[in-house]
Amino acid sequence: MSIEIQSIAKQFGSFTALDKVNLKVETGELLALLGPSGCGKTTLLRIIAGLETPDSGQILFHGEDATDTHVRERQVGFVFQHYALFRHMTVFENVAFGLRVRPKHTRPNNTEIKRRVHELLNLVQLDWLADRYPAQLSGGQRQRIALARALAVEPKVLLLDEPFGALDTKVRKELRRWLKRLHEEVHVTSVFVTHDQEEALEVADRVVVMNKGRIEQVGTPEQVYDTPATPFVYQFLGDVNLFHSRVHGGFAQVGEHPVAGDGAVAYVRPHDIELLREPAPQTLAAKIDHVRAIGSIVRLELSLENGDPVEAELSRDAYAGQRYASGERVYIRPRSARVFAEDYAI
Full pLDDT tens readout for the chain, 346 residues: 999 999 999 999 999 999 999 999 999 999 999 999 999 999 999 999 999 999 999 999 999 999 999 988 898 988 887 767 899 999 999 999 989 988 888 899 999 999 999 999 998 889 999 999 999 999 889 888 998 998 888 899 999 998 887 677 888 888 888 888 888 888 899 999 999 899 999 999 999 999 999 999 999 999 999 999 999 999 999 899 998 766 555 454 444 445 555 568 889 999 999 999 999 988 899 999 999 999 999 999 999 988 999 999 999 999 998 989 999 999 999 888 888 877 654 4
Q: Give the chain's domain count.
A: 2
Strands in the chain per DSSP E: 3-12, 15-25, 30-34, 56-61, 64-65, 76-79, 157-161, 189-194, 206-211, 214-219, 241-244, 253-254, 257-258, 264-268, 273-276, 284-294, 297-304, 309-315, 329-334, 338-341
CATH code, 70: 3.40.50.300
In a domain, 53, yes or no: yes
Residue 26 sits in the same domain as residue 170? yes
In a domain, 296, yes or no: yes
202, 235, 268 - which closes a domain: 235
In a domain, 62, yes or no: yes
Residue 227 sits in the same domain as residue 243? no
194, 210, 235 - which closes a domain: 235
Cα 326 to Cα 107, 176, 251, 274: the distances in Å are 69, 38, 25, 17
Q: How far apart are alpha carbons 146 and 80 in whole angstroms?
A: 8
CATH code, 334: 2.40.50.140
In a domain, 196, yes or no: yes
Q: How many C-beta neighbours within 10 Å does residue 68 have?
A: 9
Domain holding 269, by residue range, is 239-341
In a domain, 290, yes or no: yes
Residue 138 sits in the same domain as residue 177? yes
Share in percent of the chain as helix, strand, coil (round to 5): 30, 35, 35
Q: How far apart are alpha carbons 249 and 244 in whole angstroms?
A: 8
Residue 66 sits in the same domain as residue 189? yes
Q: How far apart are alpha carbons 19 and 29 in whole angstroms?
A: 24
Stated pTM of the model: 0.85
